[in-house]
Structure 1
Amino acid sequence: MDDSTLSDRLRQLGLSEKEVDTYLTILEHGEAKASTVADDAGVSKRYVYSVSEKLDERGFVDVIDHAVPTTIRANPPDEVIAALTTDLESLEPELKNRYGNVSEQEREFEVIKTRTTIMKRITQLLERAEEEVTLSVPATLLDEIEDALETTVDRGVMVILLVTGDDSLPESRFSGLASIARSWGENAPLIVTADQHLGLFAPNEMLVRSNSGKQGIAISQAQLVPIIVGSFFGNYWPMAEQVYVTEPDVLPRTYTDFRHSVLQSTLHLEAGHDVIVRAEARPVRTDEYATIEGQLVGVRQSLLEPTRDTFAVENALILELESEDDEEAIVTVGGKGAFVEDYEANSVTLERV
């Protein structure tokens, strides 16, 4: 840290420019007479006495006035830092009491300037997720968020993880941390979304290099976060190599996150299981929901290799329905906002035959 930066940091603690110069002079001497400090700092001897009393009250120095002449001794820096830290920590309870009730995640937009805040927001999004998380993170961050990822998976949340900047991590590294994981040797932005309405975006440089000058943004808006999810699946996910896939869930199970039902349907089909699907759904462009039931005969998806989508980010279940006159009909079911499929589903239940 250069002299200018050091002076700026000390001024942030409430010291004036002359007080900073006087303190640094005392610090360099370790202990000195007031006249010596005055000469070196370019201030009057009376000013040194006045400033020294203030610095003494704050714990920066110790004024030894029981001897003649009076001397001023700099306190050890580790003691000064410890005292300042204690003072700041003592403010926390009162600041929290006065802090407004609106949580930071509920703000529609938040500009983030530090890596520390980015890491805090990642953990918060993982803790708040109830259904689905998508993440694109540098491999260097994996250790820091490992516990939060494991807890999220344990809650039954689907975690779709893309690790960038290192494509050499073994499959075992992802066990318990994701539902499905891919790795890519290239660098990519940090992208984190939770349940389609909370999002976080930051340049890669902000995470791997200190003082990059870059900024991130947190978003809490249901209209925008799906766009981030679409960018994740459309631009970055296809570039990476699949390295880990979880085991199929024990059925029956109901999914309110449609993408999760598609993932599990794919896993069960690949395992050779016969699966019945019951969906609370409505024909697209209509308003009346009903329960439809049929045999799962296929999926269209881009989550797992080999992909079976007909366009980017497609997710659909293909069912064989049995009508009242015993005729079979093949229909497609999509998630919320579906328009190219036959049905739009609110929830999906999978059950082994």
Structure 2
Amino acid sequence: MVEDEVVDSLMRIGLSDKESRAYVTILRNGATTIRVVSEEADISKSYAYDIVGKLEERDLIEIDDHVQPTQLRAIPPAEGIDNLVSQLQTVESQLEDLFDSESYEQQKFSIIKSRRTILAQLNKLIDAAESELVLALPASVLHRVEDSLREARSRGVFCMLLVTEYDGTSSIDGATASIIQTWSAPAPVTLTVDRGDGIIASADAILNSNSDEYAIYHAEEHIVSSLFDSFIANYWPMGEQVHVGSKSQLPATFTSFRHAVFDATLHLMDGSVVTAEMDIRPTQSNAAFETTTGTIVAVKQSLVRPFSNDFPTQESFVVETPDDTFTVGGSKAFLEDFEARRVVFRSVSDTEQE
């Protein structure tokens, strides 16, 4: 019975039934022969040769064919198991290279019920933000996420905040977002974080503790992108701009293209000349990203007023180099000439010193 359990355990870590029984036979006999393995493991002699070869490849046994008959010796079990673990770790590394973790993460979807749980999930996602977040929330519940918003801003996260159902009687802390707009009308509660996570809910879901409404959480990139597109096209233009944060001190590095667009807009409004070093490639291509440097001469955007975009979701630079003028958009841009992955802004004086 114990031997059968050992065989079952070995099969669970990748050995076949016959390999497991042959290995157990060799362990039990110490130094043994093909004939003994064939008889005790109940396999043909010709098949036994194949199996012991596989056990040797797994570093579980040693084969001494310098003597007659050929001797088979088990490597000490602790060492043999270490060898198996090492092989599994190698396979794990290879599988991780093949595994589409981004696609796996994007398949997350859940329905969030109860006001308390929705607010908790909003705070959780805001706390996890690394580069950017966009939030539309009724004024009466803003205090429930203010601490998380302040902490996100202190981490350098670019935050867009639309405070809805705002009656003008309460003050809004400018430290909670990079750009704040207010709107007296109701709107869906919307949160997108790092373009990878999003929540959408009716306002009643978090205003009324007895509401039957619920929130939907998505982590599928194209759905989260659609949430932002709806927000920026339908609700953000309706707001009144009440706060705009400060432009970054240069040099500044951006992994969020939207943040870079915001910052470039403030610098251009201030009359500053900004040089951009960017990792770019032609849009709608799989070409390698290449680093190029140019001067930002214009921005198309609907983040900061006055807007300069030609269509609701447009966010792009017009970049000038000694040889060319071209447009740059963010990840998966399709109308611009290039898409950018990383952007570094430098002042002209910094560039000249280099």
* Matching residue of 2:237: 238
- Give the aligned residue type for 2:174: S
* Matching residue of 2:331: 336
* Matching residue of 1:19: none
Q: Deviations over 1:122-142 (max 9, x none)?
A: 110011110110000000111
For the pair 1:220 / 2:219, whether they are aligned, the reply is: yes
Preserved contact between residue 138 and residue 165 of structure 1 (Cα < 8 Å): yes
* Matching residue of 2:151: 151
Q: CA deviation at 1:167?
A: 4.7
* Matching residue of 2:115: 115
Q: CA deviation at 1:253?
A: 1.0
Preserved contact between residue 284 and residue 332 of structure 2 (Cα < 8 Å): no
- Give the aligned residue type for 1:125: L
Percent of counterpart pairs with the same letter? 37
Describe the SS at the equivalent of 1:277.
Answer: strand
* Matching residue of 1:174: 173
* Matching residue of 1:203: 202
| C-alpha distance in structure 1 between counterparts of 2:219 and 2:271, whole Å | 40
For the pair 1:301 / 2:296, whether they are aligned, the reply is: no
* Matching residue of 2:90: none
* Matching residue of 2:186: 187
Quickly say closer, same or farther: Cα 1:247–1:205, change in 2 above 3 A.
same
| C-alpha distance in structure 2 between counterparts of 1:272 and 1:249, whole Å | 14
* Matching residue of 2:138: 138
Describe the SS at the equivalent of 1:254.
Answer: strand
Q: Which runs of 4+ in 1 moved over 4 A?
A: none
| C-alpha distance in structure 2 between counterparts of 1:349 and 1:129, whole Å | 21
Q: CA deviation at 1:218?
A: 1.0
Describe the SS at the equivalent of 1:322.
Answer: coil
Unaligned runs of 5+ in 2: 1-104, 349-354
| Structure 1 residues 313-332: aligned runs within 5 Å | 313-323=313-323, 329-332=324-327
Q: What is the TM-score of this pair, normalised by structure 2?
A: 0.66
Q: Deviations over 1:245-277 (max 9, x none)?
A: 001011111111110000000011111111101
Q: CA deviation at 1:285?
A: 3.5
Corresponding residue pairs, total: 243
| Structure 1 residues 11-26: aligned runs within 5 Å | none
Unaligned runs of 5+ in 1: 1-104, 324-328
Preserved contact between residue 132 and residue 158 of structure 2 (Cα < 8 Å): yes
Q: Deviations over 1:215-241 (max 9, x none)?
A: 111112223111111111111101111
Q: What is the TM-score of this pair, normalised by structure 1?
A: 0.67
Preserved contact between residue 106 and residue 221 of structure 2 (Cα < 8 Å): no
- Give the aligned residue type for 2:335: V
Quickly say closer, same or farther: Cα 1:208–1:310, change in 2 above 3 A.
same
| C-alpha distance in structure 2 between counterparts of 1:155 and 1:205, whole Å | 31
Preserved contact between residue 174 and residue 181 of structure 1 (Cα < 8 Å): no
| C-alpha distance in structure 1 between counterparts of 2:180 and 2:243, whole Å | 5
| C-alpha distance in structure 2 between counterparts of 1:315 and 1:120, whole Å | 31
| Structure 1 residues 242-321: aligned runs within 5 Å | 242-286=241-285, 287-321=287-321
Preserved contact between residue 159 and residue 178 of structure 2 (Cα < 8 Å): yes
